[in-house]
């Protein structure tokens, strides 16, 4: 009898557990703007994420129409929240709406665009470009062509320093070749290129200078010009070969 009574009690407990109401899932998009919290002293347990207004909400008895109507009149609701959510972060995931865009990264990207596509410096002031950026991020800070020019030169000096260290650390010989010509306007130019083999036995070439070279293009003048360029680059290698072409 005891075993039978125990079985009946267990079965009743299981039946009672199955008959308990299940928690209603929040499937409405409106919950992206509201948070369900512990009830306060007035029993209000739902808060607007923007204006912080609170409501008393029972998920088994109430819908979300009240919250939907509130979002139409909420003065704290961000106007461009949905646009911000369209951006991707560096991991390929959706960027958080409240994530602030770093102006320094934007300026560096401007530099890469200018250099890669040989754009004029004034393109950062184009009206259409600024309208687009303002639409994507209302808090964007614009830069002038003068600031952009300074940024480009700073990046040039930074990349030049990296290349200088690279050339001075080449394990083998560094070969310099010069190309000199006179334009139809009788203006002379010279291009000085460095060639070297890296640690992986790969031949690489880098332009050190593209500059004015007025006539005469004699050996002494060429030697002095190349010497000035090497001093500017601070290249100090014993294994150095120069081909005047």
pLDDT at 210: 93
Q: Is the pTM of this model over 0.95?
A: no
pLDDT at 9: 46
Distances (CA, A) of 218 to 224, 226, 227, 233, 244: 10, 12, 14, 23, 10
Asked if residue 178 lies in contact with residue 191, where contact means CB atoms within 8 angstroms, the answer is yes
pLDDT at 45: 84
Tell me the torsion sign for CA atoms 59, 63, 64, 66.
negative
Round to whole Å and give the CA distance between 173 and 198. 10
**Would you give the DSSP letter of residue 183?**
-
Phi first, then psi, for residue 178 (nearest 5°) are -120, 145
One-character DSSP codes across 137-181: -TT-----HHHHHHHHHHHHHHHHHHHHHHHHT-SS-EEEEEEEE
What are 150-200's pLDDT values in tens digits? 999 999 999 999 999 999 888 888 999 999 988 888 899 999 999 999 888
- Low-confidence spans in the chain with pLDDT less than 70: 1-27, 60-61, 79-100, 244-245
Query: How do the domains of the chain map onto residue ranges?
Result: 22-77, 84-149, 172-243
pLDDT at 141: 83
Phi first, then psi, for residue 208 (nearest 5°) are -90, -35
pLDDT at 113: 93
pLDDT at 60: 64
What are 12-27's pLDDT values in tens digits? 444 344 444 455 556 6
Round to whole Å and give the CA distance between 185 and 167. 35
Picking from 61, 63, 27, 64, the residue whose alpha carbon sits closest to that of residue 48 is 64
- CB-facing half-sphere around the CA of 22: CA atoms within 13 A: 4
pLDDT at 135: 85
Burial class (CB within 10 angstroms; exposed 0-12, middle 13-18, buried 19+) of 104: exposed
Round to whole Å and give the CA distance between 65 and 112. 49
Picking from 147, 136, 211, the residue whose alpha carbon sits closest to that of residue 180 is 211
pLDDT at 84: 45
pLDDT at 152: 93
């Amino acid at each position: 009898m005891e075993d039978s009574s125990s079985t009946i009690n267990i079965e009743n407990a299981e039946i009672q557990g199955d008959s308990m109401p299940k928690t209603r899932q929040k499937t409405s998009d409106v919950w992206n703007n509201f948070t369900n919290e512990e009830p306060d002293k007035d029993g209000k347990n739902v808060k607007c994420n923007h204006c912080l207004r609170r409501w008393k909400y029972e998920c088994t008895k109430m819908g979300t129409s009240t919250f939907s109507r509130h979002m139409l009149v909420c003065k704290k609701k961000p106007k461009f929240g949905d646009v911000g959510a369209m951006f991707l972060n560096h991991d390929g995931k959706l960027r958080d709406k409240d994530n602030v865009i770093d102006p320094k990264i934007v300026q560096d990207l401007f530099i890469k665009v200018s250099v890669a596509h040989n754009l004029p410096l004034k393109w950062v002031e184009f009206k259409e470009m600024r309208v687009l950026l303002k639409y994507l991020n209302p808090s964007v800070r614009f830069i002038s062509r003068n600031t952009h020019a300074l940024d480009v030169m700073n990046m040039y000096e930074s990349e030049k320093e990296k290349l200088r260290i690279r050339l001075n650390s080449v394990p083998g010989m560094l070969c310099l070749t010069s190309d000199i010509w006179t334009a139809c306007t009788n203006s002379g130019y010279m291009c000085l290129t460095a060639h070297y083999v890296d640690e992986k036995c790969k031949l690489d070439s880098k332009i050190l200078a593209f500059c004015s070279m007025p006539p005469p293009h004699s050996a002494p003048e060429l030697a002095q010009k190349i010497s000035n360029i090497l001093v500017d680059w601070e290249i100090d290698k014993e294994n150095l070969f120069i081909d005047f072409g």
